[in-house]
Amino acid sequence: MSIKVASKKKAYALTMTDIKNIRNIGIIAHIDAGKTTTTERILYYSGKINRIGDVDEGTTTMDWMDQEKERGITISSAATTCYWRQHKINIIDTPGHVDFTAEVERSLRVLDGAIGIFCAVGGVQPQSETVWRQSERYGIPKIIYINKLDRPGADINRVVSQIERKLGARCLVLQLPIGMESGFSGIVDLIENRAVFYPTESENDAVIEDVPDNMKADVQKARNQLIENVAECDEKIMELYVHNSEIEAETLRKAIRKATLARKLYPVFCGSSLKNKGTKLLLDAIVDYLPSPVDRGEIFGEDPQTKQILSRKPEIEQPVCLFAFKVVNDIYFGRLIYARVYSGQITPGMKLNNWTRNRKERVLKILEVNANKLQEVGMASAGDIVALVGLKDTFTGDTLSSADSPIILEKMKFPEPVLNMKVEPKTKADSEKVFQALKKLSEEDPTFKLRVDPDTGETIVSGMGQLHIEVLIERMKRQYNVGARLGKPEVAYKETITKSAKGEGKFIKQTGGKGHYGHVVLEIKPALEGINFRFTTSLKGQVIPAEFIPAIEEGLIEAMEVGPMFGYPVINIDAVLVDGSFHPVDSNDIAFKIAASLALKDAYMKASPVLLEPIMRIEITTPQEYIGEIIADLGMRGGKIEEMIDEGLYKIIRGFVALRAVFDYPTVIRSLTQGRASYIIEPYAYQKVSEEQLKKIREI
């Protein structure tokens, strides 16, 4: 059905797509595996764009930011929509660099399926493992695309073996390459038992032929293995296989889809996106094997008032429920909220409640997103991913629904920043402009933190790495036309406690008229792994009215920003409100906020606090002859080697090292290996600082 929607600029048609025909997918991979190049081909061959852009030339649709064009990497996850075989495909192209892992995390939170792209030469690389495990946490079905088969050193079998060994994913190879490296000329489709050749540089000129004679034996063996693997997961295929009955292609596809959605099997496809080989087959695979919102089923949340578990089905008839996963400050539309609609239907002008923050909101405009191009539409329904204009108090991770159907979906968890840098405005007159611009950037990126040092008055920003911070500061200059200088990078230390303790805080003040009265008794203990802060109550009776509980929690969160022991942010705290008292006239939010802060400080000093530092996972790829120098240097830095693997003429060293020890590593490794080695470093965990290092920190 087509609906004409009036717009001040122009009228346009909005097609209502069956929810079963929607695919919300992400493209995840290590940096330089070919995510953006593959997305560009998908958009071109699906008819979304009429010209193929190039990453090196900075002309791709998805890498639209100036910095992405200049650096040749994806920095911000970009969304777009295309159509293939009467299916609507919403695609999010995610960054591959470890510094921008939050972009991957929030994208995966709202996706139904994903394509894991692996380089046929590089195989499973560190960030490949990271993003794969992120997707597994959300239970996302995936298909695998092995790219760059035209490059020297390409080996599909080695990559499949690595995926199974390192990621624990049971691969189901559905395609075999015809030739390899410079001789890569086509693909064998094992389900249809046919060959697809690419005689020109356009996939539109692909030719379907019989399987080459020299490959028939290998293809038959691979097809038998494919059917055996599917038969293990599907009774119908097993019965046909045992009785040597013919298995039709469509029957096999349905069984593969079922196993893929259950994450029992991960179909493997191959190609070379840059050379326009395999993309249209990949589009078919998205439709055939990745889930629709209906396949993913209902989503669960809780009633903010009763805490009862609720569900929402991906149906238009259900109450409205949407999840905000990204905030963007757009130069034309202002503050945009990227959201996934999980149920119901929204229209411009609709009033919603942000139940996460207990705020009323109104949707002014709904926009369909194509990277940095936005088109106004008349509605968004269950399964859609859109940008919304008009939501003033909504942030990443918030849930919105109608006033009569409250629900809060599970929030997202982001890693703690590991690096601090001082920011100074270039002129004194720009101080306020710089701070406001940084504040907007911190609203957009949950892993970019902003604070003012209470002792020196300096502005400190925290991020996932030096590149992360530098990119955002450069963005501030271009987007908000205000420049700033960055200081030297510093380790983002954290504090925590090692045992349970109880503390009390009282704030009682008389001012002549109405006074202040807040009294809080708190018990704190180390939180379970993965929990940064949790607040619960075990009050008996009405010792503290429920209306003051949010103020107490807010006071605790603010108090944790500056640790009482070392002055660093506090993490991993499980706080329980056990007692307190109130005054019927003098009690207010401010009094309980301050009392909570005092109670935390009291308990904290009794709970044996310790200082934590970020430990990084490091992977170094080096020619064999430099192994001795690299191991010796890592030992001097206090690093620990976990494993060493032979990879052809190279050696891969994996281990762990403290962030404070590797600020100069880019220069050092170039010097040690004459520029022939490369390395990847990513945050791993926070660990207790040694007594020796603690003394050095206190002396600074």
Extract the annotated binding site for GTP.
29-36, 93-97, 147-150
Euclidean distance between the first and the last CA atom of the chain, given in angstroms as a whole number: 68
In whole angstroms, what separates CA 414 from the centre of its chain?
Answer: 8
CA dist., res. 324 & res. 443, Å (int): 13
CA dist., res. 66 & res. 72, Å (int): 10
- Cα Rg of the chain (Å, integer): 28
Pairing of strands 78-84, 87-93: antiparallel
At position 534, the amino acid (one-letter code) is: R
- DSSP structure string for 657-697: EEGGG-TTHHHHHHHHHTT--EEEEEEEEEEEPPHHHHHHH
Kindly report each contact of residues 625-633 with a partner whose C-beta sits within 8 Å and lies 24 or more positions away, as own/partner: 626/672, 626/673, 626/676, 626/677, 627/651, 627/653, 629/672, 629/673, 630/669, 630/672, 630/673, 630/677, 633/668, 633/672
CA dist., res. 148 & res. 656, Å (int): 30
CA dist., res. 14 & res. 377, Å (int): 7
Helix (H, G, I), strand (E, B) or coil at 243: coil
Pairing of strands 266-270, 171-173: parallel
Rounded to the nearest 5°, which phi and psi values hold at 646? -85, 130
Q: Which residue from 341, 345, 343 is spatially nearest to 385, judged by alpha carbons?
A: 341
Q: Report yes or no: 92 and 29 within 8 Å, Cβ to Cβ.
A: no
Helix (H, G, I), strand (E, B) or coil at 359: strand
Across the strands, what pairs with 423?
459, 486
CA dist., res. 378 & res. 15, Å (int): 10
At position 562, the amino acid (one-letter code) is: V
- DSSP single-letter state for residue 429: G
Task: Count the Cβ atoms, other than its own, within 10 Å of residue 262.
Answer: 10
At position 449, the amino acid (one-letter code) is: K
Task: Count the Cβ atoms, other than its own, within 10 Å of residue 579.
Answer: 16
Q: Which residues in 85-96 are b (16+ Cβ under 10 Å) and which e?
A: eebbbbbbbbbb
At position 156, the amino acid (one-letter code) is: I
Which residues are CB-contacts of 65 (< 8 A; sequence separation ≥ 6)?
Answer: 75, 76, 372, 475
Q: Which residue from 312, 256, 328 is spatially nearest to 475, judged by alpha carbons?
A: 328
Measured over the CA atoms of residue 663, residue 669, residue 670 and residue 675, the dihedral's sign is negative
Rounded to the nearest 5°, which phi and psi values hold at 406? -65, 140
Rounded to the nearest 5°, which phi and psi values hold at 313? -90, 150
Task: Count the Cβ atoms, other than its own, within 10 Å of residue 302.
Answer: 17
Task: Count the Cβ atoms, other than its own, within 10 Å of residue 182.
Answer: 10
Q: How many CA atoms lie within 13 A of 387 on its CB side?
A: 24
Residue ranges of the annotated binding site are 29-36, 93-97, 147-150
H/E stretch holding 322 reads strand 321-330
